[in-house]
Amino acid sequence: MSDEPKLTLIGKLFLLLILGACATGAWWAFNRHSAAAPGTASGASVASSSASAIPGPSEAVPSGGNASQATLPGAVGSIEIGVAYGTEKKRWLEWAAEEFPKTAAGRGIQVNLIPLGSIEAAQAITGGDKRIDAWTPAADLYTDTFVREFELKHGRPPISQQEQLALTPMVFVSWGERTQPFMVRYKEMTFKTVGEALKASGGWGGIAQKPEWGFYKFAHTHPSQSNSGLMALLLMAYDFHDKTRGLTMADILDPKFQGWMVDIESSVVEFPNSTGNLMKDMVLKGPSSFDCVLVYESVAIDYLKNAEGRWGTLQVTYPRKNLWSNNPYYVLATPWSDSRRQAAATALMKFLISEPAQKMALTHGFRPGNPAVPILFPESPFTTGQKFGLKVDLNGICESPKGEVIHNLLVGWNNNVRPH
Amino acid sequence: MTLAVQCLNDRTGKGEGRPAFYVMKALFTFQLRIAVFLCLFMVGTLRMAAQNRVELVFAYGSEKEEWINEATAAFNRLGAKTAEGRVIHVQGLPMGSGECMDRVANGSLKANLVSPASGIFIKLANAEVRTRTGKDLVGETENLVLSPVVIAVWKPMAEALGWGSKPVGWSEILSLSKNPDGWGSLQAPQWGQFKLGHTHPEFSNSGLISILAETYAGAGKTAGLSLVDVTRPEVEDFVRGIEGTIVHYGASTGFFGKKMFQQGPGYLSAAVLYENMIIEANSGKYPLPFPVVAIYPKEGTFWSDHPVGVVDAEWNSAEQRRAAKRYVQFLLAPEQQRRALAFGFRPGLVDIPLASPLDKAHGVDPSEPKTTLEVPKPEVIRAVGQLWQKAKKHSRVVLVMDTSGSMNSGGRIENARKGAAQMLRLMKDEDTFSLLAFNARINWAMHSQQLAQGRATAEKTIASLWANGGTALYDAILAAHEDLQKSPDTGKISAVVVLTDGLDTNSKTSLELLMKAIRFDSENNNTRVFTIAYGEDANKAILQQIADATQAKSYSGTPENIESVFKDISTFF
């Protein structure tokens, strides 16, 4: 037998207590490690003090395919719906996705925002993308084609309910410093004068004795990828034929129009795939990148203030002929959608046209679809933005042409304008 | 503890008289067990911690290294988690933009997100990967920060070019470079010839941008550069004229900036750099003889727009992609964007106004650039690269290779041969190559052969080197240097590349005499001596001194890294 001392039960318990304390300490250290980088002594305190710098899981993720989420933790019978949308409404819809679940009607409804271009979204829904329960493109230009193709494939109409959420026209946005000499030279800003500036010999040297400004640079979005790009082509067609309704196939196929349109378009600097990205690029890179762009009025309003702190003021000019982007909202009656999801999508639609949501739309530059919400009041962007050229009353509003007219306009552009 | 000792004594009944011994013994045994237990516990904890983390590899252009380092450390401290509850940990890898995209495109670097200095590299990599896989390597991107590419010029020299009173650009530089009087043509003969630096376009974003801007300026365009433009003789003449003023190339824009600011106007009159580097230089980091200013070429320039995007590859899981987007959001948050401004970058977040240090006091103009250039199509970019190969300043290189007996150890001579062969491969047919092998004696193994004809011979000669004898290092360097200096050719880059693994033991030339003979003089003595201290026995301090005296670069080489050292040196030619 060993004559070494043995531990009593109390001694063992005491030692177990110490071991337990060590384990607890180590577990605490591990948890702390998980909350902070390895080797960071002050990780926990930094995490709490800087947490606001990074959006949480419920916050929006930028466009690129991943959904934004607004969750209602612990909600009984929660349901998830997907909303495909045009990125021009990104900021407003992200706000709505956050706020809607806080309302009585939205309790338990999680909204996944899916950024998709109009054509892309129509194809996804027709192709059976089960994530999408509602769709809100920038305009209803593609709706006829979408409905026709969906019915052909699925044998049923795809839309159960719809509402017009907000309105916005198209605008030319140019740098204030350069707008004035442009107007002195050309008197007005139209597609015709923009086209002349693009072709001006010596660029700005020929336009306003400013060779250091380089060539005149104009851009709009890609007509096959972005609704505002298609709007640009339609406005050119209406402007060329000087009409506001009844745009026909003959008008589109007119060789004079085709030649004129191709002449302008071949000088366009760039055709980005998103209106928001185009406007953001203009503000980030200044006049060196674009002298003038054609975008939605709402997008321009969203960036007017930002530009002031960078390159100076922006000036908004309305084209002679214009088109409304009516931002429709479609509740989809697809074979894979059930009544609960359709009801949830309908509830979101009602929230979006409610007065609080419409007021928020206005702050993001949209003209409310709900007539009960006023546009002009002292804090309205349409009041404060008058110095930038914003105005409420517009002339020369054109009607949406038929699907075949739009289709042929796009075919002509794709065939004759250099692709990017 | 007293209670435990009491219990311990009660149990044995033998503690009386020697309790301290048993207490110590018991405690020792106990502590041993605790130590073992804790070790096991720590291993387990660390394994669990590793399993509980999402690792992201972020490969990015090294121009923004300081900002990314700071921001990434802050992000990692936050302990942000994925929806699956795992902590996101980002590892940043700064490198050249070309290398970054090449390695990710060929799969040798499995990065989760990338941010080269310019969207041009994304465009090129996507075009390459699309031909193989049918899809882009990187999808949508966002600009993290912006910085225009500018020509950094010493303020008095910029004023002589007309800066401040008229728009200045590549055409002014071309006419200065073509004038045999150099700065004398602008009433400043004391400045000698105009000397320009830009990086190697195959390795660095600013180098690629430099040759694209030169080509655009030669073609008189700001957009729509075509394959036809690139083949026009007047465009080639324009590019050749500018490239004729090049001092040497290099892999790193940062190296040029640092050298220019440290060495002064005698080394470089101007260099193609990023705007943020001008701000950094004028912020007191270097003891500048004059301020440096940014010339925004009147013909147009490019934005270094630092696009960041998630890599669409099989090694990037859905969780990692979501985590990468969280990290990008963090970098684009106002707090990080304001810090980027402090580092001299223009923020990618439009909400942040441009303010100090982006101002004239720091040599830059926030209202510039007035004109930017359109990124050409990938096939046109490749054609511009081929044009540069023809029009670039070519090189005369003497490789001075230590073949003393000590090179036999540890595979040194074998790996040195491989490294030299690598450098040879990266040199162009128009370059001239000499090989001077030395031990106690110096031997011209190959002398002044143009590689168009002599490449195969050069390869064989390098492969035939073996080691034996002493080290006449200084004699060898002096002989190589004198050989290039006796027939100076300002139309070529003259360089000696020295590899040695030991101390000089057999030279007749003293170090003092050598230093006097090789010291750089921008007008008469402009051969550069690049040195490689190979292994632990080489005298790094002396080799650094030799390289510094000729405004070149010194490297530490090992058998393991020697190929990459030679590769880096080849970017100077």
Mean per-residue pLDDT, B386-396 = 94
Confidence of residue B43 (pLDDT cuts 50, 70, 90): low
Q: Which of B9, B329, B335 sits opposite A55 (nearest CB)?
A: B329
Of B216 and B43, the one with more pLDDT: B216
For residue B395, give the nearest of B197, B208, B248 by alpha carbon. Answer: B248
Smallest CA–CA distance, residue A190 to chain B, in Å, is 23
- Name residues whose C-beta falls within 8 Å of residue B318's C-beta, 6 or more positions apart in sequence: none
pLDDT for res B8:
44
Q: Is the pLDDT of residue A63 over 50?
A: no
| Interchain CB contacts (distance < 8 Å): A and B | 175
pLDDT for res A45:
29
Smallest CA–CA distance, residue A269 to chain B, in Å, is 7
Out of 1.20.5.50, 1.10.10.10, 3.40.50.410, 3.40.50.970, which CATH number does the structure's domain B394-570 have?
A: 3.40.50.410
Q: Can you name the residues that pair with B400 across neighbouring β-strands?
A: B436, B498
Of B74 and B506, the one with more pLDDT: B74
Out of 3.40.190.10, 3.40.50.300, 3.30.413.10, 3.40.50.620, which CATH number does the structure's domain A170-325+384-416 have?
A: 3.40.190.10
Percent of chain A with pLDDT over 90: 63
B308 and B380 Cβ atoms separated by less than 8 Å = no
CB contact under 8 A, A64 and B325: yes
Instruction: List strands edge to edge, sheet with B138-143.
Output: B87-95, B53-61, B113-115, B307-311, B138-143
CATH code of the domain occupying B54-143+307-344: 3.40.190.10
Give this complex's ipTM.
0.70
For residues A217 and A204, give the distance between their C-alpha atoms in angstroms, rounded to a whole number: 10
Q: Is the pLDDT of residue B214 over 70?
A: yes
Of A164 and B8, the one with more pLDDT: A164
Confidence of residue A91 (pLDDT cuts 50, 70, 90): confident
Every domain of chain A with CATH number 3.40.190.10 lies at 79-167+326-368, 170-325+384-416
pLDDT tens digits, residue range B540-560?
Answer: 999 999 999 998 999 999 988
DSSP per residue, B219-285 = HT-SS---HHHHH-HHHHHHHHHHHTTB----S-HHHHHHHHHHH-TTT-SEEEEEHHHHHHIIIII
Q: Is the pLDDT of residue A131 over 60?
A: yes
CB contact under 8 A, A50 and B77: yes
For residue B484, give the nearest of B517, B513, B533, B437 by alpha carbon. Answer: B517
Cα-based distances in Å from B120 to A357, B67, B137: 41, 22, 13
For residue B101, give the nearest of B140, B144, B136 by alpha carbon. Answer: B136
For residues A118 and A113, give the distance between their C-alpha atoms in angstroms, rounded to a whole number: 14
- Name residues whose C-beta falls within 8 Å of residue B536's C-beta, 6 or more positions apart in sequence: none
CB contact under 8 A, B354 and A51: no
**Which of A32-36, B367-371, B513-517, B523-527 shows the highest mean pLDDT?**
B513-517
pLDDT for res A1:
43
Confidence of residue A283 (pLDDT cuts 50, 70, 90): very high
Confidence of residue B47 (pLDDT cuts 50, 70, 90): low
For residues B538 and B84, give the distance between their C-alpha atoms in angstroms, rounded to a whole number: 53
Q: Is the pLDDT of residue B9 over 60?
A: no
Q: Which two tokens stand for residue B493?
A: 């880059």
Q: Is the pLDDT of residue A420 over 50?
A: no
| Mean of all residue pLDDT scores within chain A | 84
Q: What is the DSSP pairing of strand B303-304 with strand B145-154?
A: antiparallel
Of B266 and B159, the one with more pLDDT: B159
From chain A, the residues in CB contact with B83 under 8 A are: 57
pLDDT for res A181:
97
Q: Which two tokens stand for residue A244?
A: 């506001």
The rounded radius of gyration (Å) of the Cα atoms in chain B is 29
For residues B128 and B113, give the distance between their C-alpha atoms in angstroms, rounded to a whole number: 18
Q: Which of B140, B310, B353 sits opposite A63 (nearest CB)?
A: B140
Q: Is the pLDDT of residue A76 over 90?
A: no
pLDDT for res B48:
59
pLDDT tens digits, residue range A309-364?
Answer: 788 899 999 999 999 999 999 999 999 889 999 999 999 999 999 999 999 999 99
Confidence of residue A59 (pLDDT cuts 50, 70, 90): very low
**Which of A10-14, A50-54, B405-409 shows the highest mean pLDDT?**
B405-409
Q: What is the DSSP pairing of strand B554-557 with strand B528-534?
A: parallel
Of B147 and A226, the one with more pLDDT: B147
From chain B, the residues in CB contact with A66 under 8 A are: 321-322, 325
Q: Considering Cα of B184, then B188, then B190, then B196, what sign does the dihedral take?
A: negative
Identify the DSSP state of B144.
Answer: S
For residues A237 and A409, give the distance between their C-alpha atoms in angstroms, rounded to a whole number: 9
**Which of A9-23, A360-374, B2-16 shows the highest mean pLDDT?**
A360-374
Q: Is the pLDDT of residue A64 over 60?
A: no
Mean per-residue pLDDT, A70-77 = 40
Q: Which of B89, B353, B372 sits opposite A309 (nearest CB)?
A: B353
Confidence of residue A90 (pLDDT cuts 50, 70, 90): confident
Cα-based distances in Å from B70 to A36, A240, B274: 16, 55, 20
pLDDT for res A53:
32
From chain B, the residues in CB contact with A55 under 8 A are: 326, 329
Q: Which of A14, A213, A269 sits opposite B223 (nearest CB)?
A: A269
| Mean of all residue pLDDT scores within chain B | 90
A294 and A320 Cβ atoms separated by less than 8 Å = no
Confidence of residue B41 (pLDDT cuts 50, 70, 90): low
pLDDT tens digits, residue range B64-99?
Answer: 999 999 999 999 999 999 988 999 999 999 988 888
pLDDT tens digits, residue range B304-331?
Answer: 999 999 999 999 999 999 999 999 999 9
Q: What residue spans define the domains of chain B? A: 2-50, 54-143+307-344, 147-304+365-388, 394-570
Mean per-residue pLDDT, A389-406 = 92
Q: Do domains B54-143+307-344 and B147-304+365-388 have the same CATH topology?
A: yes
A79-167+326-368 belongs to which homologous superfamily? Periplasmic binding protein-like II (3.40.190.10)
Q: Can you name the residues that pair with B273 across neighbouring β-strands?
A: B150
CA angle B240, B245, B246 (to 5 degrees): 95
Q: Which two tokens stand for residue A241?
A: 């034929």
User: What are the backbone dihedrals phi and psi of residue B561, each rounded to the nearest 5 degrees, phi first?
Assistant: -105, 5
CATH code of the domain occupying B147-304+365-388: 3.40.190.10
Q: How many CA atoms lie within 13 A of B547 on its CB side?
A: 20
pLDDT for res A355:
95
- Name residues whose C-beta falls within 8 Å of residue A48's C-beta, 6 or more positions apart in sequence: none
Amino acid at B213: A
CB contact under 8 A, A40 and B167: no
Of B268 and B40, the one with more pLDDT: B268
For residues B71 and B93, give the distance between their C-alpha atoms in angstroms, rounded to a whole number: 13
Q: Considering Cα of B367, then B370, then B376, then B380, what sign does the dihedral take?
A: negative
Q: Which two tokens stand for residue A110?
A: 């999680």
pLDDT for res A405:
93
Cα-based distances in Å from B77 to A30, A44, B310, B340: 15, 8, 22, 19
B362 and A306 Cβ atoms separated by less than 8 Å = no
A317 and A172 Cβ atoms separated by less than 8 Å = yes
CB contact under 8 A, A37 and B79: yes
CB contact under 8 A, B330 and A54: yes
